[in-house]
């Protein structure tokens, strides 16, 4: 069954559409959510469902990209922490090893002696 849609304006008491004399009559050019090319004029109110579906699809793609980026960042951070742990373990075995607190305390003492 094919439904024929009447071109009545919901913003003008459902009178016939004025088309080009109406500011809401706009051209849409792009690809529909079904993959069809669009290059049509129509009422901006009538385009809203199509544009909302497209916005939802784009939001889903963005969410997936952000999640993928987050996973890569977590992986990189984990590798960095592991590398620092290995380095710290190796350095802490050296005979001249000083903790960060010892370095800061000694540098503070040297600074106060210079004043």
Summarize the confidence of residues 47-53 as an average pLDDT.
87
Predicted confidence at residue 115, as pLDDT, reads: 56
Closest CA to 5 of 17, 22, 23: 17
Predicted confidence at residue 111, as pLDDT, reads: 63
Indicate whether 3 belongs to any domain.
Answer: no
Query: Which residues form the domain of 58?
Result: 8-114
pLDDT of 87-114, one tens digit each?
888 877 777 777 767 777 776 676 665 5
- CB-based contact 39:29 (threshold 8 Å): yes
- Classified as helix, coil or strand, 15 is strand
Q: How would you classify the pairing of strands 8-9 and 37-43?
A: unpaired
Indicate whether 102 belongs to any domain.
Answer: yes
Domain total of the chain: 1
Indicate whether 1 belongs to any domain.
Answer: no
Summarize the confidence of residues 30-53 as an average pLDDT.
86
Higher pLDDT among residues 111 and 54, named by residue: 54
């Amino acid at each position: 069954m094919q439904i024929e849609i009447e071109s009545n304006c919901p913003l003008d008491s459902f009178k016939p559409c004025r088309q080009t004399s109406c500011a809401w009559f706009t051209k849409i050019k792009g690809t529909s959510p079904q993959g069809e090319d669009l290059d049509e004029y129509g009422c901006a109110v009538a385009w809203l469902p199509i544009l909302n579906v497209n916005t939802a699809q784009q939001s889903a793609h963005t969410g997936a990209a952000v999640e993928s980026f987050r996973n890569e960042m977590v992986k990189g951070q984990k590798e960095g922490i592991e590398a620092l742990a290995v380095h710290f373990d190796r350095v802490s075995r050296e005979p001249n090893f000083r903790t960060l607190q010892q370095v800061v305390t000694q540098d503070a003492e040297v600074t106060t002696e210079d004043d």
